[in-house]
Amino acid sequence: MTLRLGRHTFADDAMLMMAIVNRTPDSFYDKGATWAEDEAFDRVARVVDEGAEIVDIGGIKAAPGAEIDVAEELRRVAAFVARVRTAYPDLVVSVDTWRAEVGRAVCAEGADVLNDAWGGADPALVDAAAEHGAAIVCTHTGGVTPRTRPFRIEYANVVSSVIEDCTAYAERAVAAGVDRDSVVIDPAHDFGKNTVQSLEVTRRLGELVGTGWPVLVSLSNKDFVGETLDLGVGERLTGTLAATAVCAMAGARVYRVHEVTETRQVVDTVRSIAGLRPPARAIRGLA
């Protein structure tokens, strides 16, 4: 399905890199490396150079912590969105927020995508996307409250729950006026899930792809990778890329990542294995 992300349209075989840009002092992976605006802007330049089609700008870390109100979230992201929009007109600008009020403000500054990591916790977010012609990412969290950790959450069938909730959210977005080509679903690894559940979602990702909605995966350096390999936050790239390969083989369309170059290489390799992309240069045995 053709994917329309705000001002930008992508062919149905395009696999897109969404680079994470945190405007936070305390996110789990970069720990404030791009908290300063100029550092964040340098990160945008770097990931654009590495070939990312999308930047995902977030002002609140996912884990519990100090309350960040709407005003503070907007201070962190709104002007930055405008700066990136102006500097990179061809770049898709996504904002990681669950709040409709923030969504409206950042769309007014030029955001193309509202990436709701918290499963529709604010039901008006779809209206914000519809009003501005923005795309929306519909995640599955099992109904948890934003910024809470999963605690003994169980599912009779985790993938069925993911499909049911994501597709219901997607249809709700369309009913609110979001273009059907501008809706993406995300099973949200680690969110409302333990490691075993996130692994099962990865193993059965093809069932999500089978719904017909474009699938985004956010795997990068997450705890389910860390627990699978018993590795700390800074040691999870290999495991992340293994999970990425599985999702690419299943047909995921968008990859929300810290490491753009490495992820792109994995996705391109998988696409070539799948017969969807010719090798970059093939001379071995052919000369």
Partner 1 sequence: MSSVRDVVVVPSTLALLPSYGGLADPVADLRAACTSAVQWLVERHPSSIGVVHGPARSDNVARGVTRPAGLAIAQHLLHTDSSVPSYLSPRVEVDDESVSGVLVVANGSATRTEKAPGHLDERAAGFDEVVGRALREGDPAALRKVDEELGVDLWCHDVPAWHRLGDLVEGPVLRAVVDYDDDPFGVQYWVVRWQCGS
| Interface with partner 1 (CB under 8 A) | 64-65, 142-143, 148-157, 161, 194-196, 227-228, 230
DSSP single-letter state for residue 16: E
Residue number, 149 or 203, with CB nearest to partner 1: 149
In the complex, least distance from residue 46 CB atom to partner 1, rounded to whole angstroms: 31
Residue number, 88 or 155, with CB nearest to partner 1: 155
Q: Helical H runs in the chain?
A: 37-49, 70-87, 100-108, 125-132, 158-176, 195-203, 205-209, 223-229, 237-250, 260-273
Residue number, 148 or 272, with CB nearest to partner 1: 148
Cβ 166 vs Cβ 139: under 8 Å:
yes
Residue number, 213 or 224, with CB nearest to partner 1: 224
Residue number, 44 or 144, with CB nearest to partner 1: 144
In the complex, least distance from residue 81 CB atom to partner 1, rounded to whole angstroms: 29
Q: Collapse the DSSP code of 237 into the 3-class scheme (helix H, G, I; strand E, B; otherwise coil) and give the result.
A: helix
Cβ 20 vs Cβ 220: under 8 Å:
yes
Residues recorded for the chain: 287
In the complex, least distance from residue 143 CB atom to partner 1, rounded to whole angstroms: 6
Find all residues with CB under 8 Å of 152, minimum gap 6, and list them: none
Looking only at the bridges linking them, the beta strands covering 54-58 and 92-96 are parallel
In the complex, least distance from residue 148 CB atom to partner 1, rounded to whole angstroms: 7
In the complex, least distance from residue 117 CB atom to partner 1, rounded to whole angstroms: 17
